[in-house]
Chain A
Amino acid sequence: MQYFFFHLMPWPHLPADFDQKYDSAWIWLPNSLYDPVKGHDLYREYIDTLASVEDLGFDGVCVNEHHQNAYGLMPSPNLIASALIQRTRHCKIAVIGNALPMYNPPTRVAEEYAMLDVMSGGRLIAGMVLGGGPEYYSYQMNPTHARERFREALDLVVKAWTTPGPFTWHSKHYFLRYVNPWPRPLQQPHPPIWIPGAGSLETVEFVAQRRYAYMGLPFFHIDVSRRMYDGFREACRKAGYTAKPEQMGWGITTYVAETDRQAREEFEPHFWYFARNLLKGITMAPPGYMTPRSAAAAFKNRGKFLYGGDKTWKDVEEGVYAIVGSPQTVIQKINHYRKELGVGVCLTGSGIGSMPHHLARKGLQMFSREVLPHVRDEAPTV
């Protein structure tokens, strides 16, 4: 079982009346609310926290891409990855991912990922992502072509890595006379490809067919996760093979403190800041971003997402939207659910919402010292 530390780099300084005053933390939330002086401190602290997990025994760090929002301040995760390469020696650097349809030409992704792979000595995990619904508003990218562009771009990037250039590329959305990126990736035939998803049937089936790894996004009810990984295993079976645990990543927020009560007290306010403020607007799905089939499924599942419906701490515990408590509690829950879900990778993080850096680091250190050694064993039961 591998553990990756995931950071979203949230903006923790939204005004107290945010929820009354603004309908979204995304797309059109005025950027006058961003303060670059505070932003400087944040990047420094967040990068310090990320860089520290290598010595805490994590297998890697995860960063990701979002645009025009207070939820995550990494419009270019590759820049953060580049900084982390300089601060670490052994751990994997997982960028999950670059939102392929936002790059034109997509060979930009082939180039930058190859740079990161070569710079890091082959430590890159190359995440490829469709991009969230809000991204399509922020970049004015046509959502009805999202999946088509994503697949074409992914094929182009993989071909650029695996076929000697120059070659000519022609598809519905992209034409390039000379595909010939310098540098080429160090890992052969190419860095591992992880694809994050929120359970949409299209993505689950696609990742299974391509034999890449599927990273389930956090912030859903455990029932959604169950269906997601069952669906993935089923899709792999249909594609003629048995899914490997390392093909399935489980995104789950965790926080460890001395006792259950202390953990909840330290964690809960910052978690609600995240759930009630930063998630507001994330579900803005432009028309055509999903097929009607997936849109109907999302409509049915809307109660099983962390945002909305006035959720309480009881809902959080019952739905396993986060795992919080003493080392013993966290060990017990992680072991229970990772075995039940059959996952081989865990993407976790404690630096959520408005959590102060010192608490996030304390939680991480406790996780490292008291939890990590007890949740490692191989061979989940599914």
Chain B
Amino acid sequence: MFETLKKLKYGARVLLSRSGGQPETITVNGRPTVLMHAGEGPPFVYLHSSLGESLMWLPFYQAWAKQFRVLVPTHPGFGKSGGFEQIDTIEDVAFHYVELFDALGLDEVILGGVSLGGWIAAEFAVRWPERVKKLFLCNAPGLWTDDAALGDLFRVMYDRRALRRMLFHDPDGHMARLVIQDEPDEEKLLAAYQNMTALARLVWDRPYDPKLAGRLHRVQCPTLLLWGAHDQLVPPAFGEAYHKHLPHAQMKLIADCGHLPMFEKEQEFVETIANFCKE
């Protein structure tokens, strides 16, 4: 009874439809939030990068959905999720997710993400470690290291070829050309501009959190650091920095892979994460 009351205190619970992988919009403390979900099993929340993989239910979500209840929310300000005006910092996004989990009644989740999504997951885990059962961070910024240079996405964002070179190990590969097209139409360009705007709000001032390293000791769950070995935006040295500060972390590199393993090495990405999460 007390537990139920405690949950109610955080606002109305939201009931999701049963449809697999269809986007639906729920309201999180006034923020319209797009969410896709499918599958049954332990709750597994994937936090997306700024490259648009939350726009549709992709095959790798389906693969995870065979073992987990997979939830893929779209961050505030990205895609069709609203609430941008309430968000200024990564910490604001972490609070958005604790409110989302409260609304969905998720006490404990497997949590992780790629790039920006990984950073948000880390910020969540240092604040509410008891709610994270397992954590996976892929090619995630968030820390500073003098061992490698953090790339500048905002410098190359208008140059499609330079963007592919920064994000993919093989910039001429099929996936690179599919994800970053040479001649996107205006609608795609504006959607990308909006996502980059939402990203800029969070990371422009400082593309890392000076307090994060000192807080990572609070994360008590097993953590997987999975990195494209040739990431030029957030090089593996940033994964090593996480490794140094996280108490229970293992680091794995994906060969011949850049910043976006879910596109460039999908199978290895899906399986490594699935194996780590079900152990």
Contacts and interface: CB of A to CB of B under 8 A. Distances in A.
Contacts of A288: 196-197, 200-201
A309 interface: no
Contacts of A28: 155
Contacts of A292: 190, 193-194, 197
B204 A142 contact: yes
Nearest to A290: B193
Given A137-B154, A140-B205, A142-B205, A287 B190 contact: no
B279 interface: no
A144 B197 contact: yes
Contacts of B194: 292
19 contacts: A28-B155, A137-B154, A137-B155, A140-B205, A142-B200, A142-B205, A143-B200, A143-B204, A144-B197, A284-B158, A286-B200, A287-B157, A288-B196, A288-B200, A292-B190, A295-B190, A295-B193, A296-B186, A299-B186
B186 A140 contact: no
A287 B205 contact: no
Nearest to A144: B201
B199 interface: yes
Interface string B140-169: 000000000000001101100000000000
Given A28-B155, A284-B158, A288-B200, 8 more contacts: A137-B154, A142-B204, A144-B200, A144-B204, A287-B154, A288-B196, A292-B197, A295-B193
Interface residues of A, number: 16
B189 interface: yes
- Interface on chain A toward B: helix, strand, loop, or mixed SS? helix
B186 A287 contact: no
B189 A287 contact: no
Interface in A117-150: 136-137, 140, 142-145
Given A287-B154, A287-B196, A140 B190 contact: no
Interface in B176-208: 186, 189-190, 193-194, 196-197, 199-201, 204-205
A152 to B, nearest CB: 14
Contacts of B197: 144, 287-288, 292
Contacts of A140: 204-205
Contacts of B154: 137, 286-287
Nearest to A140: B205
A359 B199 CA distance: 48
Interface of A: 28, 136-137, 140, 142-145, 284, 286-288, 292, 295-296, 299
Interface in B50-89: 88
A51 B199 CA distance: 46
A149 B128 CA distance: 33
A145 B189 CA distance: 21
A284 B152 CA distance: 14
Nearest to A288: B197
Nearest to B158: A284
Contacts of B199: 287
Nearest to B154: A286
A136 B200 CA distance: 11
A286 B190 contact: no
A327 to B, nearest CB: 42
A28 B152 CA distance: 12
A154 to B, nearest CB: 20
A287 B204 CA distance: 10
Closest 5 CB pairs of A and B: A287-B196, A288-B197, A144-B201, A287-B197, A287-B200
A28 B199 CA distance: 22
A286 B189 contact: no
B208 to A, nearest CB: 13
Contacts of A144: 197, 200-201, 204
A142 B198 CA distance: 11
A295 B186 CA distance: 10
A296 B201 CA distance: 20
A140 B154 CA distance: 11
A228 B5 CA distance: 58
A295 B205 CA distance: 22
Nearest to A300: B186
A140 B152 CA distance: 12
Nearest to B159: A23
B155 to A, nearest CB: 8
Given A286-B154, A287-B157, A287-B196, A142 B201 contact: yes
A299 B192 CA distance: 13
Contacts of B201: 142, 144-145, 288
A111 B49 CA distance: 44
Contacts of A296: 186, 190
A286 B186 contact: no
Nearest to A23: B159
A291 B205 CA distance: 19
A144 B204 CA distance: 9
A356 B200 CA distance: 41
A297 to B, nearest CB: 11
A143 B204 CA distance: 8
Contacts of A284: 158
Nearest to A296: B190
A286 B205 CA distance: 12
Contacts of B204: 136, 140, 142-144, 286
A286 B200 CA distance: 8
A143 B201 CA distance: 8
Contacts of A286: 154, 200, 204
B200 A299 contact: no
Contact of B193 (A137, A142, A287): A287
Scoring A136, A143, A144, A299 by chain B CB atoms within 10 A of each residue's CB, the highest score goes to A144
B183 to A, nearest CB: 13
